Amino acid sequence: MIGKLLYTRFYDLTLNPHPMKIIVALAFVLIIGSLASALFFLMRDTGKSKRTARALTFRIGFSVLLFIFILIAYRMGWIQPTGIRMG
């Protein structure tokens, strides 16, 4: 039952992806990419340059922008709550 539900949701996503899902996924890729580049610069430069700090600053900026975008999208009605009860 759960497998069929997951397959149906994945199949629907591949046929007609919602633009908001694409934007959020792209933002996550940017955040993870910035984090990976910070790790690379940390290991390569051994703390002698400011590239690590710059990459981590970009990661924080991308995260804040994603959070603000999700809030705006919710207020504009572009996304809806899922109905999962908390607690």
| 50-76 per-position pLDDT tens digit | 888 899 999 999 999 999 999 998 898
Q: Counting Cβ atoms within 10 Å, is residue 82 exposed (0-12), middle (13-18) or buried (19+)? A: exposed
Q: 48 in a domain, yes or no?
A: yes
37 pLDDT band, cuts 50/70/90, is: very high
Q: 68 in a domain, yes or no?
A: yes
Q: 7 in a domain, yes or no?
A: no
Contacts 24+ apart (CB under 8 A), 59-64: 59/31, 59/34, 59/35, 62/27, 62/30, 62/31, 62/34, 63/31
Q: 23 in a domain, yes or no?
A: yes
- Stretch 37-61: mean pLDDT: 88
Structure tokens at 74: 């919710």
Q: 6 in a domain, yes or no?
A: no
Quote the domain boundaries for residue 71.
18-76
Q: What pLDDT score was predicted for residue 68? A: 95
Q: 44 in a domain, yes or no?
A: yes
How far is residue 59 from each of residues 27, 43, 46, 69, measured CA to CA in Å? Answer: 10, 17, 20, 15
Q: 85 in a domain, yes or no?
A: no
Give pTM, 2 decimals.
0.68
Q: Give, for 62, the enclosing helix (H) or strand (E).
A: helix 51-76
| Number of domains composing the chain | 1
